[in-house]
Structure formats: structure tokens, C-alpha cells
Structure 1
Amino acid sequence: MANKGLKDLKQQVEGAAQDAVTAAGAAAQQVVDQATEAGQKAMDQVAKSTQETIDKSANQASESFSGFGKK
């Protein structure tokens, strides 16, 4: 009878350990997903900022170039 009790306890401990591993894996995946999303947002912002800078520079260059013949 004691052997059955130990077997049941072992199964409970193994089940709890497996649940903990599953929960930890899910939490780790959530952290990875959030980091990936944050990284993507940062890259999107860099791309937007870079494009705005390129557009402003192109406009300034165009305005400067068009002013050369008018003086």
C-alpha cells in the first residue's frame, strides 16, 4: 500500500513539474513575442524617420537647385 502511495505521489510530482515546464515555456514564448513586436515597432519607426529625413533632404536640395538660375 505504501508503494502505491509513493507511486501516486511520484505521478503528482511529475505532473506538477510538467505543468511548471509548460507554463514556463508559454511565459518565455510570450516574452519572445513581445520583444519581437517591440523590435518590429522600433524598426518601423526608424524606417519612417529615415524616409522623412530623405524626403526633407530631397526637397531642400530641389529648392536649392531651382534657386541657382534665378539670381
Structure 2
Amino acid sequence: MAGKSLQDLKQQVEGAAQEAVTAAGAAAQQVVDQATEAGQKALDQVAKSTQDTVDKTANQASEAFSGFGKKLGIMK
């Protein structure tokens, strides 16, 4: 009878250990997912900022060229 109780206890401990490992794995995956999402948001922001800067610089260059052309009389 004692052998059966020890076997049951062993199974309970193994089950609890497996549940703990599963929970830890799920928590670790959640951390990875959140970090990935945060990283993607940061990259998206950098891309948007870079595109805005490129657009602004292109507009300024176009305006400067237009102004230069008007001064030289080759543009209206």
C-alpha cells in the first residue's frame, strides 16, 4: 500500500512540475512577443520619421531650386 501512495505522490509531483514548466514557457513566450511588438513599433516609428525627413528635405530642395531658377530668370 505504501508503494502505491509513493507512486501517486510521484505522479502528483511530476504533474505539478510539468504544469510549472508549461506556465514558465508560456510566460517566456509572452515576454518575447511583447518585446517583438515593441521592437516593431520602434522600427515603424523610425521608418516614418525617416520618410518624413526625406519628404521635407526633398520639398526644401525643390523650393530652393525653384527660387534659384527664378533668380536666374529660367523659371517662372
Instruction: Please name the residue that 1:19 is paired with.
Output: 19
How does 1:1-71 map onto structure 2 within 5 Å?
A: 1-71=1-71
Deviation at 1:70, TM superposition (A): 1.8
Amino acid at match of 2:38: A
CA distance in 2, matches of 1:69, 1:11: 86
TM-score by length of 1: 0.97
TM-score by length of 2: 0.91
Unaligned runs of 5+ in 1: none
CA distance in 1, matches of 2:8, 2:57: 73
Deviation at 1:41, TM superposition (A): 0.3
The structure whose Rg is larger is 2
Deviation at 1:52, TM superposition (A): 0.2
Q: Percent identity?
A: 87
CA distance in 1, matches of 2:9, 2:61: 77
